[in-house]
Structure 1
Amino acid sequence: MLKKENILLVDDDIQILELLQRHLTSMQYHTYSAVSVKEALYILKDTAIDLLITDINMPDINGIQLIKYMAEHYPDIPKLVVTGFPSIDDAMSVIKSGATEYITKPFTKTELAEAVKKSLEGAKPKNPIKKVAPREQHGYGEMIGASAAFKNVVEIIERVKDNHATILVQGESGTGKELVARSIHYSGKFARAPFIAVNCGAIPENLLEAELFGYTKGAFTGAYETRNGFFQAANNGTIFLDEIGNASMAVQGKLLRVLQEKEVTKVGSQKPEKLNVRVIAATNTSLDELIEKKHFREDLYYRLTVVSITVPPLRDRMSDIPFLVDRFLQKYGVEYKDRLVVITPDALEILKRYAWPGNIRELENVVQRAVIMSDGQVTAKHLPEQVKFRIDFPEQPLKPLRQMEKEYIEKVLIATGNNKTKAAQILEIDRKTLREKLK
């Protein structure tokens, strides 16, 4: 009777695969075989595997890459490496990549049995995973960070926080442009005055002018009363205009007048109203390109960029990731778990390595999901696939039909334990034809 453990064998050498399969079957283990890393990943996707045994040297993608991939995507599966390089340095490299054990070629059946036993026993957790010690928090206002790129932004904020100079905040989506605007407002002497945030991309174009500047009774259908707009609400304080590039040319014209004359005119009115408002605008698109396409006024652009702040993407301030992770763990740990949630060193290393195309917003979403899925400790298995180690397979060249047939016959023979009768049945040919093809 077979044991419950399923062992996946990966080696491009058919003879080694057959030897491993024969030895392990005699030890009452159930085996799956793959002649490449790509084939191994297909098996892992749909099969419960208890142990991986892999060679190191394989064409295209080697065993080290498979070990690294599995260490993050399948951290609970032990990994036994079969290597022909018995040096101490090579052994250490294999273990550091995530392998549980390794044996060198040639090996005996007894050595294999002992290595398999040690690997399976090593998969059982004996001690709790080390936790990352809490870090001292670094930041400014609601912003978190300590990198040089972060400090450059803070330096500009310090210079503009106490005056009403118009500011344009630029940066990719998710970098925290609104946090920069809030830090400018709430860290300066106007902190007690209103801060009004407006997403110009979220308000329909035909309503944006009325929402920004207000309207008089009867100015348009549905205007049953005179109402102030966001600019009037922000008087003596700060208005933050996010996605300013989405404003229509008509709205841009009125914005220019606000910046030049310090006054606004309600829709439907001829009477201007004096205001004292600091304008902070933000964009994640190139206003230069919009100007070239005649979609943005050049004179408004120069009025908005009295001071310009470029918020760096997260990939340019990777050293800030641990501080951001700590903040999000604290925030969502209290919200979802009513306690502090911690993260393991391995999981944090994964987050520190990923490029974060969605910037801080993407990092926050990943940590939020991980906290929900964890029981108080975030590990690698709680992180989404896209942030973990990836294997980029080279594009396979087109092969002759005869070569494809040969490789498939070899694959079927491995899967059937070299049982030619079963292989012939699967291939739907007779044994005589199979023998001829094997020759």
Structure 2
Amino acid sequence: MNGKVLIIDDELPIRKAFTALLAERGLATAAVKSGPEALTLLAGAAADFDIVLLDFAMPEMDGLAVLREIHRRHPEIVVIMITGYAEVALVVEAIKLGAYDYLLKPPDPDHLLLTIERALEKGRLQREVRQLDRSLGSSLEMQLGRGEAIRRVIEEIRRVAASDFSLVIEGETGTGKTFIASLIHNLSHRAAGPFIALDMGSIPESLLESELFGHEKGAFTGAERRKKGYFELARGGTLLLDELQNLTLQAQSKILQVVEEKSYYPVGGSKPLTTDLRIIGATNSDLDRAVAERTFRQDLYYRLNEYHVTLPPLRQRPEDIPLLAARLLTDAATEMNRGFTALDDSALALLVEHPWPGNVRELKNVLRRAALQSDNRELTAEMIAWALGNGRRTPEASPQRSSDQTAGEPVSLEEAEREAIGRALAHTGGNRTKSAAILGITHKTLLTKIKKYGLF
């Protein structure tokens, strides 16, 4: 074994015995007789201990007080308590204060060495987690931004992901609530399980129970086979209930019952199914106000709102726009297999000045539309203005402009829209679903416009 152990015990024979035993296994040791002496040693620049063996009963400062200080000042050190008597209350308190384990005096040598070996492994894993955590922070900043407002959100994401709390994510439309929920899922111990996002406003009231809880064969007319509900499909993972504010009071009551009892009956079922999932709610409304107005159940809100994350709108964090735009533009280039790589200064200035009522979703769609229309490696302000709808010209780089139009000649918005749709369809080989995604419109809207412009 490799490691450095600090022995804290007021009995000299114990200190000598532990030192000899650990030295035989290649462990470096230091031994002190009191808590204050240990804390002074740990404060030294060259301390660097992996493990502390700490006696419970000592003069000057008892073991629990020393443990509390070590955990506060040096949380990375793994502490093993040594006690001459097994008093349950003391042991429980020690574990609460962060002790890794406890051993009775005199400990069996093999058991002591095994405990130390496991403690060293725990310390190693903790160091790896801290390193990953630092890397994760950098990765999240690249995805979300580096401004002060979003850095607070990143810290909240990391904190709540490590728990199994239910939570509510609040933010305007387009701020990325579903994306944040998926990040929390992927950073949690449930990451290997499914992540299911469900728009609560899209489910008719008459189908709510069947969609959420499933139904048995023959439960109602047309139920020809058993169907799993979303609570069952999300088992072991995370279920995002998006647009919480759209839930009727009756639907809220049904969900509350499941959250409280952690079980439910499929429609037509006689055996309860247990839940094993994290629930995340998302809303673009003020649920506190909804509770006050009695349009949202207070008890359900308290159950779901164990933790709360508020996403700032993009207009409140313009400092993040250059980083977000660069990432989204790279994503668009990859998706479309195009060569553009950057925005010129005037284009970037236009993006930063825009109020972004549609938030990050709008930014993403604007960049995709501009990217689709551009044949240059660098997007210009003209391209961005056109994509924002602020301009009244098609971008000059468009190769599909008719030959009798000059480069700067005004065209109607309908002409520009028709051309953009045509380019999207050509780029995707006529795939309407992909074209709608590129243009940032719904599939239904695209079909309507295809018919309008005769783009069959």
TM range (shorter): 0.5 to 0.7
Asked if 1:179 corresponds to 2:167, the answer is no
Change in CA separation of 1:164 and 1:142 when aligned onto 2, cut-off 3 Å: farther
Asked if 1:358 corresponds to 2:363, the answer is no
Asked whether the equivalents of residues 138 and 323 of structure 1 are also in contact (C-alpha less than 8 Å), the reply is no
Name the SS for the 1:201 alignment partner: helix
Corresponding position of 1:377: 378
Which consecutive residues of structure 1, in runs of 5 or more, have no partner in the other structure?
Answer: 1-136, 391-439
Asked whether the equivalents of residues 239 and 278 of structure 1 are also in contact (C-alpha less than 8 Å), the reply is yes
Corresponding position of 1:223: 223
Distance 2:335 2:237 in 1: 32
Distance 1:193 1:236 in 2: 5
Question: What is the identity, as a one-letter code, of the residue corresponding to 1:367?
Answer: L
Deviation (angstroms), 1:227:
1.4
Deviation (angstroms), 1:241:
0.8
Corresponding position of 2:160: 160
Asked whether the equivalents of residues 171 and 311 of structure 2 are also in contact (C-alpha less than 8 Å), the reply is yes
Asked whether the equivalents of residues 287 and 296 of structure 2 are also in contact (C-alpha less than 8 Å), the reply is yes
Corresponding position of 1:44: none
List per-residue Cα deviations over 1:315-344 (Å, max 9, x = no partner). Answer: 111111011111111111122243343211
Distance 2:339 2:211 in 1: 41
How large is the Cα RMSD of the aligned pairs?
2.2
Q: Which is helix-richer, 1 or 2?
A: 2
Distance 1:349 1:138 in 2: 25
Corresponding position of 1:196: 196
Question: What is the identity, as a one-letter code, of the residue corresponding to 1:179?
Answer: F
Distance 1:238 1:209 in 2: 19
Deviation (angstroms), 1:360:
0.4
Question: What is the identity, as a one-letter code, of the residue corresponding to 1:175?
Answer: T
Distance 2:356 2:235 in 1: 38
Distance 1:344 1:212 in 2: 48
Asked whether the equivalents of residues 194 and 238 of structure 2 are also in contact (C-alpha less than 8 Å), the reply is yes
- Report matched runs for 1:281-360 at 5 Å: 281-360=281-360
List per-residue Cα deviations over 1:129-185 (Å, max 9, x = no partner). Answer: xxxxxxxx9641983211111111111111111222110000000000011111111
Question: TM-score by structure 2 length?
Answer: 0.53
Asked whether the equivalents of residues 254 and 264 of structure 1 are also in contact (C-alpha less than 8 Å), the reply is no
Asked if 1:251 corresponds to 2:260, the answer is no
Question: What is the identity, as a one-letter code, of the residue corresponding to 1:276?
Answer: D
Deviation (angstroms), 1:187:
1.4
Change in CA separation of 1:312 and 1:195 when aligned onto 2, cut-off 3 Å: same
Distance 1:274 1:285 in 2: 30
Name the SS for the 2:165 alignment partner: coil
Change in CA separation of 1:389 and 1:244 when aligned onto 2, cut-off 3 Å: closer
Distance 2:345 2:270 in 1: 64
Question: What is the identity, as a one-letter code, of the residue corresponding to 1:336?
Answer: M
Asked whether the equivalents of residues 346 and 380 of structure 1 are also in contact (C-alpha less than 8 Å), the reply is yes
Corresponding position of 2:280: 280
Asked whether the equivalents of residues 138 and 146 of structure 1 are also in contact (C-alpha less than 8 Å), the reply is no
Asked whether the equivalents of residues 168 and 307 of structure 1 are also in contact (C-alpha less than 8 Å), the reply is yes
Report the count of equivalent residues: 254
List per-residue Cα deviations over 1:49-76 (Å, max 9, x = no partner). Answer: xxxxxxxxxxxxxxxxxxxxxxxxxxxx
Question: What is the identity, as a one-letter code, of the residue corresponding to 2:209?
Answer: E
List per-residue Cα deviations over 1:275-317 (Å, max 9, x = no partner). Answer: 2110001001222333344332111011111101001100111
Asked whether the equivalents of residues 147 and 317 of structure 1 are also in contact (C-alpha less than 8 Å), the reply is yes
Distance 1:378 1:138 in 2: 27
Asked whether the equivalents of residues 194 and 234 of structure 2 are also in contact (C-alpha less than 8 Å), the reply is yes
Question: What is the identity, as a one-letter code, of the residue corresponding to 1:286?
Answer: D
Question: TM-score by structure 1 length?
Answer: 0.55
Question: What is the identity, as a one-letter code, of the residue corresponding to 1:306?
Answer: E
Distance 2:138 2:366 in 1: 21
Which consecutive residues of structure 2, in runs of 5 or more, have no partner in the other structure?
Answer: 1-136, 392-456
Asked whether the equivalents of residues 213 and 265 of structure 2 are also in contact (C-alpha less than 8 Å), the reply is yes
Distance 1:141 1:319 in 2: 12
Question: What is the identity, as a one-letter code, of the residue corresponding to 1:323?
Answer: L
Distance 2:247 2:300 in 1: 12
Asked whether the equivalents of residues 141 and 151 of structure 2 are also in contact (C-alpha less than 8 Å), the reply is no
Aligned-residue sequence identity (percent) comes to 41
Question: What is the identity, as a one-letter code, of the residue corresponding to 1:223?
Answer: A
